[in-house]
Amino acid sequence: MSCLKKRAKWTKSDKILSEAEVKRVSHENGKLIGLEGDADLQFLLKGGDLQKVRSSSWKKTRYFKLQEDCKTMWHESHKTLRSNQTFSIDDIESVRRGRQSEGLQKYTEDDVADRCFTIIFKGRRKNLDLMANSVEEAKQWVAGLEKIMNNNDNLNFHQKTEHWIFNCMRKADKNEDNKMSLKELKHFLRQINIEVDDSYAEVLFAKCDKSESGTLEGSEIKEFYNLLTHREEIDVIYSKYAQTEGQMSAENLLSFLLTEQRESVSLDDALKLIQKYELDDTAKQKKRMTKDGFLMYLNQPEAMIFNPAHKQVYQDMSQPLNYYFISSSHNTYLMEDQLKGPSSTEAYIRALMKSCRCVELDCWDGPNGEPVIYHGYTLTSKVLFKDVIKAIKEYAFKTSEYPVILSLENHCKLEQQKLMAQHMISILGSALVTQPLGDHMPTCFPSPEELKGRFLIKGKRLNKLDAFFTPNSTVEEESVSEDDEAAEVKGNEEKHKSKKSKIKLAKELSDIVIYCKSVHFGGFDHARENQAFYEMSSFKESKALSLAENSATAFIRHNMDKLSRIYPAGSRTDSSNYNPVPMWDAGCQIVALNFQTPCTEMDLNQGRFLPNGRSGYILKPAYLRDQTSNFDPIKLTKGKWLQQKTLHVMVISAQQLPKLNKDKCKSIVDPLVKVEVYGVPADVAAKETGYINNNGFNPMWNDNFKFDIRVPELALVRFVVEDYDSTSQNDFVGQYTLPFTSVQNGYRHIPLLTKNGDVIPSATLFVHIMVIGPQ
């Protein structure tokens, strides 16, 4: 085994592998990740020069290469005090070929586009803009990185575990002799998040050291691996159903699926699982499942807690647009806080790639006649309006084909408003909805299905929508009041302005506002008597919460034929978020959150929109769509929404939780698990396990919890793992949130996500779920 050694001075020859070494590493690790002998993998292992691009004047050549673990990229750095010269392949969100980032568009020319590519990182880490020496090399870099990322994603759980443990062993092998001493074993256990006393480590070591050589090697390391990854809880479950010569027959497996998992399956389904997941050919021929095959099955996505039937679009998408919850972003252009952070097209790309279907554009007059987007009256940076529209056009439908709403907050004068309209019409083309669908004046919204691949503009309009069907119709007014959110004041400079200040509106911009005309909210009675279905209001979070708590039924009925948009209070200058659940309970569709801020509220948003193919649209329950409904989430009177269910959760164990402080070798987590339910107020609850001292690798709890769920269609379940701290707030380890209606019964693994919503490789919870109540 080999790893990078610290040098006083770096030279390129120190890092370049010989051809023989490249082939050896490519064979060993390529086999493990499914790329044995691949030419692009060999290219990355050998490495080469790339030009890092940070500005028009900062373009530096640096040496990059893939490390031998095939999971880590190393790069040359001339900042000698900087230690983070590596990054993990797992930290890469995507690789974009060409000039597909703000930096490359600003600081490079069109003629080098084929040599450029950008590495996009998960979380808040800055993009890495790079330029290769040739077009061919750029293709190899991108192809190689994408192959490793795709193959890592496609590894089964067993392979991921093996790969992860293999790499931890490599790091622990300090003297690189392919053997493991007792001291290295202790170091390895800390690497994988286990703190053990010396006597236990010695017993484990002695048990595996069959040759009594004082080191573990070859088959002895394999024996150590098997002891380490042994799952006692799986033994118990498997032995209960393995009634055929110590193995599971197809009938035994069917019994498990029917009894424990409560799945509607047949013997044929059980046979298919054996053929698909059994690792032992002899057992497979006998139509049996071994314990390894059983564990393999339990770690597959279809066997995890999230119902696989909900991974695709499964809801009716032909209902009017206002019948759906719509994933929505507030001040989408911001990467950080609301006062001085950067504005960027990247923020739009990230939101759209998370299936956000309503993005916000704060538009102001810019230099050279070009409108810009930024948070007015603040120090946030500016980005060109046309660049944002181009980015939206490029990324709007990569993760969801359903319509995207562009929510305009317009502060521009007439000339730049006209240019805004021109940009949207020319860039978005036929995808932009510029007139009502059909030949007659509509009486309700079109459906997400009818609007697939289309853009809707939300903003002010000078006249009624009827104008499209009325010859020689006239403009009703030349000026309109500013949006409520803008009038709320963006800083002290704005305090002198009236909340009902008027701006002139260009007809060209007005004419492309079709189904989402912004109007002031004058009360539910006024809206019912005066507002057309396409006229919608925006509500500050405090106003919306007051209506949801004190006028819930009226608010719900308002949202049965109109759209409502909710936005965070202006006081949330740190880009924090409000709780979206009460807004959804009141039937509000466009509940806009600050997507850039990792928090519980964003976890709930991502959980709400996890099902239905991650389309960004979730059909509201019938009682939030039916005009005769008297549903009130606060009072909870009798009705079809009351479907009393009991959720039993047994938190059994966790696997391979990440180390939180990787810089401290002896830092081990003390994990505990919280189970939280969100929904109507009567359903909100939280319970937690005790903490396990010094074990993040395979902690076990076996704690049972019970939750009463009254309105299941609005409930969300959140599982949170924290690192217990007796003197301060617990540290976040990982979480997973999903709708209660998407929870599968039985023994289930739960994947864990980072604060930013990315999957933590190999880390899972293991639980038993039982839902009791009417189906």
- Catalytically active residues, by annotation: 330, 375
Strand order in the sheet with 72-75: 86-88, 72-75, 59-66, 48-53, 128-131, 116-121, 92-97
Which of 72, 61, 91, 59 is closest to 33 using CA atoms? 72
**What amino acid occupies position 328?**
S
Cα 156 from Cα 299, distance rounded (Å) = 8
Which of 663, 642, 621 is closest to 316 using CA atoms? 621
207 DSSP assignment: H
Cα 131 from Cα 594, distance rounded (Å) = 33
- Residue with tokens 């790329």, as numbered in its chain: 35
Cα 642 from Cα 683, distance rounded (Å) = 11
Contacts of 161 (CB under 8 A, 6+ apart): 229, 656, 762
Cα 434 from Cα 361, distance rounded (Å) = 18
Cα 757 from Cα 126, distance rounded (Å) = 17
DSSP letter for each residue of 16-79: PPPHHHHHHHHHHHHHHHT-TT-HHHHHHHH-EEEEEESSSS-EEEEEEEE-TTSSEEEE--S-
Instruction: Tell me how far CA of residue 139 lies from CA of 26, 50, 73, 150, 424, in angstroms.
Output: 19, 13, 17, 16, 33
User: What are the structure tokens assigned to 379, written together?
Assistant: 């120090």
DSSP letter for each residue of 565-605: EEE--TT-TT------HHHHHTT-SEEEE-TTS-SHHHHHH
Assign residue 105 a region: left if phi > 0, alpha if psi is -120 to 50, beta otherwise?
alpha
Which of 143, 92, 81, 95 is closest to 121 using CA atoms? 92
Contacts of 704 (CB under 8 A, 6+ apart): 648, 649, 650
The bridge status of strand 759-772 relative to strand 590-593 is unpaired
